[in-house]
Structure 1
Amino acid sequence: MLQVTKIFRFEMAHALQGHAGACRHVHGHSYQLHVTVRQEREQEGYLPGAGMLIDFKELKKLVKEAVIRRLDHQLLLSGDYLAANPGILRQENLLVLEAEPSAENLLLFVRNAIREKLPAGIALAKLKLYETADSYAEWVL
């Protein structure tokens, strides 16, 4: 199955309510997001027209609008965290997630946001979100 991948970078802070370790405190990461899309159906022969599954510029625009602009330089917290720390509500760049903003839950948020924007004939195949240089969460179709 033919697929293509584009890599994105963004900065974001978060905290995990109920975590026993240091991640319970507000802290930030330099995230790297790998977005892989594929054909919805395998086809014989070459790709028609310009010969591209999707133009990388189109994929870049789609992901930037659906994800990067929403998350870059934001503080992402859960409703539970805000209930336990109401003083933080004064933050200008606060974004609230329905669940704890772990790398895994953030990846599910990203999956849903991108799926809504994909053109016909293109499916999301894989997402990889690096929280650090050597730690990542991965979603695979």
Structure 2
Amino acid sequence: MSKIRITKQFSFETGHALYGYDGKCRNVHGHSYKLSVTVLGEPITDPAHVKFGMVIDFGDLKKIVKTEIVDQFDHATVFNKNTPHVELAKELQDRDHHVILVDYQPTSENMVIDFAAKIQKHLPSHIYLHSLKLQETETSFAEWYASDQDAPQPPKGE
């Protein structure tokens, strides 16, 4: 059977600041992110199966990404929890703002690594995360490819 890649695109608004950075992005600012999620699998061949012909129902993929990424990051401000930005984060949280504290500098590169881990753990065992593209601006994006990672993806459930 043929392996097929399918892609679903998402968008969300997120603010962040890059602590210690030597440019404008050290200031709190936001982006209209676009996330493309590509998975790889074989279309279902059982004609009696309700999802006959699909690799994965786009709606099922949407539920995973919406729950793990979009609903969490949309209209949130992301800070590295190991920087002095935690003081600003606490102030914002006290004023009822949605703040996410992460273990990394919240660059597109690190966010896409985080997103890959969050999505992979929820995919069915026969579906593999092929790639992610996180577009920060019209001309700037970070990409994650499973084939570029040091170790092959383990089978689900291990």
Fold match by TM threshold 0.5: yes
Match of 2:118?
A: 113
Q: How does 1:2-81 map to 2 (within 5 A)?
A: 2-39=4-41, 47-49=44-46, 50-81=52-83
Does residue 91 of structure 2 align to residue 86 of structure 1?
A: no
Where do 5+ consecutive residues of structure 2 fail to align? 47-51, 147-158
SS in 1 for 2:72: helix
Where do 5+ consecutive residues of structure 1 fail to align? none
Return the alpha-carbon distance in structure 2 between the equivalents of residues 140 and 55 of structure 1.
21
Return the alpha-carbon distance in structure 2 between the equivalents of residues 109 and 70 of structure 1.
12
Query: What TM-score do the two structures reach when normalised by structure 2?
Result: 0.81
- Contact residue 17 and residue 80 of structure 1 kept, 8 A: no
How far the C-alpha of 1:47 sits from its partner, in A, is 3.5
SS in 1 for 2:136: strand
Return the alpha-carbon distance in structure 1 between the equivalents of residues 128 and 77 of structure 2.
29
Q: Mean Cα displacement is larger for which, 99-108 or 86-95? A: 86-95
How far the C-alpha of 1:85 sits from its partner, in A, is 5.8
Does residue 101 of structure 2 align to residue 96 of structure 1?
A: yes
Residue identity over aligned pairs, in percent, reads: 38
Return the alpha-carbon distance in structure 2 between the equivalents of residues 7 and 86 of structure 1.
34
Cα RMSD over matched residues?
1.4
Does residue 133 of structure 2 align to residue 128 of structure 1?
A: yes
Give 1 or 2: higher strand fraction: 1
Q: Which of structure 1's runs of 4+ aligned residues deviate more than 3 A?
A: none
